[in-house]
Amino acid sequence: MKTRERILHTSQLLFNEEGEPNVTTVDISNEMEISPGNLYYHFKGKEAIIEALFARFEVTLSDILRAPLEKELSVEDSWFYLYVVFEEIYNFRFFYQNLTNLLHRYDSINRKYKRLMELKTRTAHALLSEVANHGILSIEDEELNQLCESITLLLTYWLTYCDLKGQQLGPPAAIHQGVFQIVHLVAPYLSDEYGHIYRECKALYQAATAELGH
């Protein structure tokens, strides 16, 4: 792996583990066993590293979020889809653990992030309207909007919130719970004849929870 790439890789790792504010350029170069001078040859500084990492995150996450806007998903796929979104957020959790501050410091990231956030809501809206059109969900327009907002908030902060609770959940368990938490937001709107979908989810959830063990 080229040095530039290794810097990004190591930074992402350390940021996620220690929290971005607690990682210095020297920490990064120590971890990589290169000199700080070398790091500065490849990047103007920590800011540039963060911007590069965010650029990557933006590309992959917005691709993920746009997919269901173009091609319809089945109900089962929608459910699996949530895992994919959470997974990607998990990979850049350092970013979410420090959102307010980062967006305050970097105006460029701020603008891009806002678009991502809107895209999250838009995707949730598209997925749910579709399910509603199939008669699986029965929900009014205004309730749908509020629901999508809650889903976006939950997607944004669930993993951070799990961290806060500090019940040493492994990442798969935390993600798994997050998915189910979202399912729970949607479940009350399932049409009567589709209540079984929720019950199946629940069974799956409990099985998987048992498997992830403790």
Beta strands in the chain (DSSP E): none
Cβ(173)–Cβ(212) below 8 Å: yes
In the list 5, 9, 38, 146, the residue contacting DNA (rule: CB under 7 A) is: 38
**Residue 43 φ/ψ, nearest 5 degrees:** -135, 145
Show the tokens assigned to 188.
């009350």
Q: Which residues contact 17 (CB under 8 A, 6 or more apart)?
A: none
Q: Give the nearest distance from C-beta 66 to a second copy in angstroms.
A: 20
Rg (CA), the chain: 19
Binding status of residue 123 toward a second copy by CB under 8 A: no
Locus of tokens 């079984």: 196
Binding status of residue 80 toward DNA by CB under 7 A: no
Measured from the CB atom, the residue of 7 and 155 that comes closer to a second copy is 155
The one of DNA, a second copy, none whose footprint includes residue 66, by CB under 5 to 8 A per kind, is none
Binding status of residue 41 toward DNA by CB under 7 A: yes
Q: Give the nearest distance from C-beta 79 to a second copy in angstroms.
A: 16
As beta bridge partners, residue 190 has 137
Chain contacts with a second copy (rule: CB under 8 A): 19, 21-22, 97-101, 103-104, 110, 113-114, 117, 143, 146-147, 149-150, 153-154, 156-158, 160-161, 163-166, 180-181, 184-185, 187-189
